[in-house]
Amino acid sequence: MNMEYENMQLFEDQPIRCAWNEAEEEWYFSIVDVVAVLTESKNSAAYWRKLKQRLKAEGNETVTNCHGLKLKAVDGKRRLTDVANTEQLLRIIQSIPSKKAEPFKLWLAQVGKERIDETLNPELIAERLIATYERKGYTKEWINQRLMAISARKELTDEWKERGIKKGKEYAMLTDELTRAWSGMTTRQYKKMKGIKKESLRDNMSTTELVLNMLAETATKEFSEAERPKGFSQSVSVAKRGGKVAGDARKAIEKGTGKAVITNKNAMELNHVVTQMIEASVNVVIDNENEENS
C-alpha cells in the first residue's frame, strides 16, 4: 500500500493511528486502536484476534480484505498492524457491542471530510496544526515560529532532493552536521540533553532554539542553491557552513545576554512554565474582580 503519510487522530482524547492513501483518497485506521477505544479492553490485540477468527469463520469478506501496514508503536518501532478503510471499519464496528459505536461513526465521517477538505485547501492543514499545538499549551509566538520552521525545513529538503541526496539516512546525516555546527551537538545528543527519545526535537525547542535551527537550515539551503553541490559528500561541507552561520549567531546572543541559548528543558517543562504564567495572570484578574465587587 502506497501511503502518503501517517498521522494520529484523537477520538475522545484517545489516539487512533492512521495513514492517508493519496491515490485512493482514503484513510486507513489501525483496527487494534479502534477496538481499544470501543471495548476499553486491556488487551485489544487479543480481542481483535478472536473477533477476526469469528468473522472469518462466518465468511465475512471484510476481514479477508483488510490490509497489513507497518505503523509506529508506542515504543517508536514500526510493526505490522491490521488496518481498514472507513467502509471496512464500519462493518467491523457492527460486530462490536459498544455504546461508543455511534459517536465513533460520526467521528469517522468527520475525519474523512477534514482530510478531503485539506487536500482542496492546504491552509486547513496549518489551521489544524495550530489547534493541536494550542491544545498542548504552546504560546502563539512559538507556534508561529514552528510553522515557519516547517516551511524552512521543507525548502531545505526540496533542495537536497535536487542535489541528489537520498531521503532518510542521508537527510539525517546532513541534519546532524548542521545541528552540530550551530549547537555543538548531534541530533541524538541534543535529544538526550532534553531527556527525549522518539519525540520531535523541534517540538521540544524554545523559541530562540527554533529560530537558530531555522537560520541554520535556511543558510544551508541558500548556500546549496548558489553552489549546486553534487551528491552527499559535497553537501556535507555546505551543511557545516550553513550551521556555522547560526552557531555564530548563538554565540553572539550568549555573549550579549550572558546566558546559554540552548536549554535542557523539553516541551513538557517549557509549557509548564507557560501554563503557570497563564494561571498566575488569571488569578490576578480574578483577585482584581473580587476587590472591585467587594
pLDDT tens for 111-163 read 655 554 544 455 555 677 777 788 778 888 888 888 888 889 999 999 999 99
Residue percentage of the chain with pLDDT more than 90? 31
Nearest to 209 by CA among 250, 178, 252: 250
CB 116 within 8 A of CB 86: no
Q: Which three cell numbers stand for residue 237?
A: 561541507
The mean predicted confidence, pLDDT, of the chain is 80
Q: What angle do helix axes 31-39 and 101-120 make, rounded to 10 degrees?
A: 140
Distances in Å between the Cα of 133 and the Cα atoms of 26, 146, 166, 205, 212 are 25, 10, 30, 13, 20
Contact by Cβ (8 Å): 107, 11: yes
Q: Is residue 273 predicted with pLDDT exceeding 50?
A: no
Q: Is the pLDDT of residue 252 over 90?
A: yes
**The predicted structure's pLDDT at residue 279:** 40
The kind and range of the H/E element at 59 are none
Render pLDDT for 45-67 as a digit per residue (tens, 0 to 9).
Answer: 898 988 888 888 888 777 767 77
**C-alpha torsion sign, points 45, 49, 52, 54:** negative
Higher pLDDT, 174 or 79: 174
- Span 247-256, average pLDDT: 96
How does strand 14-21 pair with strand 67-72?
unpaired
E strand or H helix at 69: strand 67-72
Question: Whose CA is closest to 37, among 113, 110, 102, 98?
Answer: 98
Cα separation values, 289 from 181, 275, 282, 283, 284, Å: 51, 21, 11, 10, 9
What pLDDT score was predicted for residue 141? 85
Predicted local distance difference test score (pLDDT) of residue 189: 93
> E strand or H helix at 184, and its extent?
none
Domain boundaries along the sequence of the chain: 5-120, 137-284
